[in-house]
Chains A and B, each alone.
Chain A
Amino acid sequence: MNRRKFLTMLGSAGVVSALASTTAPKEAKASHIFPYYPESYGVLHDTTRCVGCRSCEQACNEVNSLPKPNKPFDDLSVCNTKRRTSATEWTVVNKYKMNGKDVFRKLQCFHCQDPACASACFAKCFQKQPDGSVTYDGTQCVGCRYCMIACPFYVPGFEYNEAWDPLVKKCTFCKPRLDKGQLPGCVEACPMDALTFGRRTDLIKAARKRITENPDKYLDYIYGEHDAGGTAWMVLAPANPKGPKVPPENPVLAGPEMKQLGLDTHLGNQPMGELTYGALGTVPMIVAFWPVLFGGAYAMTKRREAMHKEEQEKTVRQAREDVAKAVDAVVRTIQETEGEGAADRARKAMAEALKARGEAGKHGEGA
């Protein structure tokens, strides 16, 4: 086994150990399933009730003291464009054509059970709170905007206009109001009760009840119950009165319907973060463990080399001594039998022969 082979083996051992550590936390995370906070709150958005009046947008703007928009809130033409939430508009209502009928949907942070933004943020700015809200604390934010890339709903907005310390802004679930025992601004303002606030578990029951009581009215799918690992804000969509009935709770068959409402049912029922937690979780492990591993390997190699060298030198020394002793013995014998001159010649010839051999073998000096 030479040095290269040895190092290759060590390296592969290191990779295996790293892989083992990526899979190990996953098994340990068996308790890492939603809902994490069974008492958490949510909001059910019933799009069959929404008329697109933008009262929620106005209320959001007022309770959060956001800047006045260019177009007033009673201008309903803006609903026709597919707007996105931004740093100054934390919620928007868009109009969608669903099987030929106008359906309005409110867009805002879905407050995921296991938020992808939090999983992507290395500064730990995002946190899922026990009340259901996903909060953002900008004190450590470095402005990398990984959260905006991670969010499957394209929700967080960035203060591009801010020169100093731009932050990420998004719906806060009106956390300050919740803490005071008030409803979120948009929920309170909705004139149709298209937004129902309550415990998430109760909302799912309420949604099921509405679907059961009006099977022809609702699509039998609660968007957000399992999508992206479950969200605190959930959406009910109207059924297609003309088309065939979509079987209950089927994300594949409900997909084309939900897509018309701008909702993606292909996010899977696994939290987005779970896809990256394993890989990202190993980073500290690698940082801490790999230097020790490779440092140790290096030290071991060095020590082996030193030992090898010492042994080799010892062998060489012994061989030399043996040769010198043999030469001495031979020369002494010649001296006794054939006299001083012959001994001198023999010694010289042997020294030359050894020297020549040593030069050929690279490790011989003159005896």
Chain B
Amino acid sequence: MRNRTKMLLLTAIALVGAACLMFREPEGISAAHAPELTDSGAQPAMVLFPVSDKPSRGVSGMKPVVFNHKLHEGKVQECESCHHTGDPVPCTTCHTVEGKAEGNFVTLERAMHASNIAPRKDGRTPQSCVSCHRKVYTERLECAGCHSIVKPTENDDWCAVCHADLPSLTREQWQAGIQGKLSPAENVAIASSTIASKKPHEYLEGSRTRYRVTLDTLKDKYEANVFNHARHIVSLQRKIANDPLANAFHSSSSILCQTCHHHEPATTQPSKCVSCHTPTIDRAHPERPSLKAAYHLQCMGCHDGMEVKRPRNTDCTGCHRLRTVQQEETK
């Protein structure tokens, strides 16, 4: 056995290597969780003011946004994802409320909210807050189920998720911020205190909803489907429990309910599907899916979005058993 020594040596090296890898990883994770430092050396959080070139005496424009830089830094691949010029300067250096030549006259509002950004030839397509968030909720499987059916309603509540009231911000600080004169230390202090005061999001407890729902309005060729209501909700909630984006934007505790129980205010006693979706197509509303299609579009839409492999969309008996003739006769 000439190679014995060599083999032992190699095994020893491999073991040492594996040990290094095993011990290094948790070290890295714990470092990322340290509250006061970021990998890039940027401030962990900051207040983004709508900086304007125009001289303004009072406070005007949109409410400033507290931006958790540290959290976002961990979610993107590289600094250039947001700092698209490659220069890590604040957004308002080039994109002010009015827009200026350095920023190609793209206003701050567009830079933060544009959702249909033309791809750049050099591949460095800039992203806005909204376009990046949209990408997340349409591409991540745990989000894509519901979000292949529902889009966030872009109303005042939606705006207020980011443009929230800042109780610790004084009028003078606000004005200084708009003029770009607020000291970085003050800025970070306000942002950090706001982030620290955030409460975790709470969903309606899934296990307390109806356990099973029997969908039997249409049974003729197939048996009724027994829909495991609570299990679906618990499963969805578990998937997004620790997701900061979902927690921030899922504004109400019953928001998950509203993917299926749509077009009505959130309630614990929602209407039945058949109240709007008639068994045959309603002549007055030909565009509204019939009851059968409504069930199928909703179930399959979500399953397709989450890439649920089984049951297949064409496997009818996977969800409702075939109804036999004997059963019909006994009825």
Residues of A within 8 A of B (CB): 49, 51-53, 76, 183, 190-193, 196-198, 202, 206, 209, 213-217, 241, 244-245
Contact: B119 with A244, CB < 8 Å? yes
Instruction: Find B293's partner among A76, A190, A215 (CB 8 Å cutoff).
Output: A190
Contact: A192 with B138, CB < 8 Å? no
Contact: B314 with A53, CB < 8 Å? yes
Given contacts A202-B286, A216-B138, A245-B116, whether A192 and B314 have CB atoms under 8 Å apart is: no
Contact: B286 with A196, CB < 8 Å? yes
Contact: A193 with B314, CB < 8 Å? no
Give 12 A-B pairs besides A192-B300, A197-B281, A213-B151 with Cβ atoms closer than 8 angstroms.
A49-B293, A51-B300, A51-B313, A51-B314, A53-B313, A53-B316, A76-B314, A192-B293, A196-B286, A202-B286, A209-B287, A244-B119
A244 to B267, CA, bound (A): 40
Contact: A49 with B281, CB < 8 Å? no
A49 to B281, CA, bound (A): 16
Contact: A191 with B296, CB < 8 Å? yes
For residue B126, CB closer than 8 A to chain A, the reply is: no
For residue B96, CB closer than 8 A to chain A, the reply is: no
List residues of B (175-193) whose CB comes within 8 Å of A's CBs. none
Nearest Cβ on chain A to B220's Cβ, whole angstroms: 12
A82 to B293, CA, bound (A): 27
Nearest Cβ on chain B to A33's Cβ, whole angstroms: 27
Instruction: Find B290's partner among A193, A217, A241, A244 (CB 8 Å cutoff).
Output: A193
Where chain A touches its partner, the secondary structure class is loop
For residue B103, CB closer than 8 A to chain A, the reply is: no
1/0 contact string of B281-323 vs chain A (CB within 8 Å): 1000011011011001100100000000000011010000000
- 27 residue pairs bridging A and B, Cβ less than 8 Å apart: A49-B293, A49-B297, A51-B296, A51-B300, A51-B313, A52-B313, A52-B314, A53-B313, A53-B314, A76-B314, A190-B293, A191-B292, A191-B293, A191-B296, A192-B296, A192-B297, A193-B289, A196-B286, A198-B286, A198-B287, A202-B286, A209-B287, A214-B151, A216-B138, A217-B148, A244-B119, A245-B116
Among B286, B290, B297, B300, max chain A CB count under 10 A is at B286
A217 to B289, CA, bound (A): 18
Contact: A183 with B281, CB < 8 Å? yes
Among B151, B313, B316, max chain A CB count under 10 A is at B313
A245 contact set on B, CB distance < 8 A: 116
B148 contact set on A, CB distance < 8 A: 217
Nearest Cβ on chain A to B247's Cβ, whole angstroms: 24
Q: Nearest 10 CB-CB pairs, A to B?
A: A193-B293, A51-B313, A193-B289, A198-B286, A53-B314, A206-B287, A192-B296, A192-B293, A191-B292, A191-B296
A3 to B286, CA, bound (A): 73
Q: Look across to chain A and name the residue whose beta carbon is closest to the beta carbon of B148.
A: A217
A202 to B316, CA, bound (A): 32
A216 contact set on B, CB distance < 8 A: 138
Nearest Cβ on chain A to B199's Cβ, whole angstroms: 33
A216 to B292, CA, bound (A): 25
Nearest Cβ on chain B to A337's Cβ, whole angstroms: 119
A358 to B297, CA, bound (A): 107
Q: Look across to chain A and name the residue whose beta carbon is closest to the beta carbon of B134.
A: A216
A76 to B316, CA, bound (A): 12
B314 contact set on A, CB distance < 8 A: 51-53, 76
A202 contact set on B, CB distance < 8 A: 286
B313 contact set on A, CB distance < 8 A: 51-53
A217 contact set on B, CB distance < 8 A: 148
A311 to B248, CA, bound (A): 112
A198 to B283, CA, bound (A): 9
Nearest Cβ on chain B to A90's Cβ, whole angstroms: 21
Nearest Cβ on chain A to B138's Cβ, whole angstroms: 7
Q: Look across to chain A and name the residue whose beta carbon is closest to the beta carbon of B119.
A: A244
A180 to B289, CA, bound (A): 23
A74 to B316, CA, bound (A): 10
